[in-house]
Amino acid sequence: MTRTSRRTVLAATAAAGLAVAAGAPAHAATGGRAPSKELFGTLDDGTKVYRWTLVNGGTRLKVLSYGGIVQSLEIPDRRGRTANVSLGFAGLPDYVAKSPYFGGLIGRYGNRIAQGRFTLDGATHQLPVNDGPHSLHGGDRGFDKRVWDIEPFTARGEVGLVLTRTSPDGEAGYPGTLAVRVVYTLTARGAWRIDYTATTDRATVLNLTSHTYFNLAGEGSGSADAHLLELAASRYTPVGATLIPTGELARVARTPFDFRRPRAVGEAVRTPHEQIGHGQGIDHNYVLDRGITARPEYALTVTDPGSGRVMKMYTTEPGMQVYTGNFLDGTLTGTSGRVYRQGDAFCLESQHFPDSPNQPSFPSTVLRPGATYRSTTVHAFSAR
């Protein structure tokens, strides 16, 4: 597939995610209600930050206007007991001062760009470097640290939020004025769907994702090592010592990265392997077997045996970054008042591949004027 057609296929309607969410296993629908809004805090410049709450199908989702952050995601276990399964903070100051992207809406570019530099149409663009010598998740002030405009909606048994923001030309070194629209939806069966769209007035690169930290046993409950992960990926992108992909698409067979059948996350992380050493655990992009798709297709299942909670993910994206909470070090206190330690959660970030602007063999992340960036990811919850 050519670079142009890889991006063009994303122009298919994101509304197709409705069918996936409706057909995926989920706990019984319990009905939704209109989104509610409350003041969460005030930034130093006087900007008010609000927290929106969505409830539908047994799922409760709390979202901040600061960073589009998922502050809480509550789902029931096999006995119907509800718990928050996402890591986060109780107050705004911690998000501003020290958050490791908890629940953030990531842009302009999810994951790493080597040396914070890329060349597009003959022009070289320098981005802020905030991860050693590299740029990570949009630089030192990415989309997760910007205030978004939010409008609620209710329609056809669904509830949701429309988040919008215009990123000016040159913001964080990226070319083009970018108009971004992200829709968070809770379906009647409690699935959480994210639809991303964007347009630009100048050629740019774009890779949007959500950086929610999951522990299906409940936030603050301790290690997530016992969670079982099944991932529809036969290859992954190995990295060098500073976590930039080498360009290889390596087979997962006979490595700790093989989750083609359900496997405990902790078992994989503790298997000796040079790549595990580079990331102090798993911090790698998986190449999903079905590639870029016109509608969300199955990517993975993660299960917590203790609570019975299950999350399935469907996406249009070609990659999935699996990050096993390797840099949580006990210095952060979460919403439950408990500290977060290494391995207490994992991130599953649907995405294009890291450093794609510098890797010609990877699917293109270039967005040009006249085209529309579209991406959809669905999280479907159940218990067994």
349 is catalytic: yes
Place of tokens 């296993």: 25
| CA–CA dist 361, 354 (Å, integer) | 12
Catalytic residue among 137, 211, 227, 352: 211
Q: Which long-range contacts (CB under 8 A, 24 or more apart) does 252-261 make?
A: 252/286, 256/282, 257/282, 257/284, 257/286, 259/229, 259/230, 259/231, 259/233, 259/300, 260/230, 260/231, 260/232, 260/233, 260/234, 261/230
3-class SS of residue 356: helix
DSSP structural state of residue 364: P
Catalytic residue among 297, 349, 352, 379: 349
The CA radius of gyration of the chain, in Å to the nearest whole number, is 19
Please answer whether residues 283 and 265 qualify as being in contact, where contact means their C-beta atoms are separated by less than 8 angstroms.
Answer: no
* Beta-carbon count within 10 A of 181 CB: 16
- The tokens of 148 are what? 């978004």
211 is catalytic: yes
Catalytic residues: 211, 349
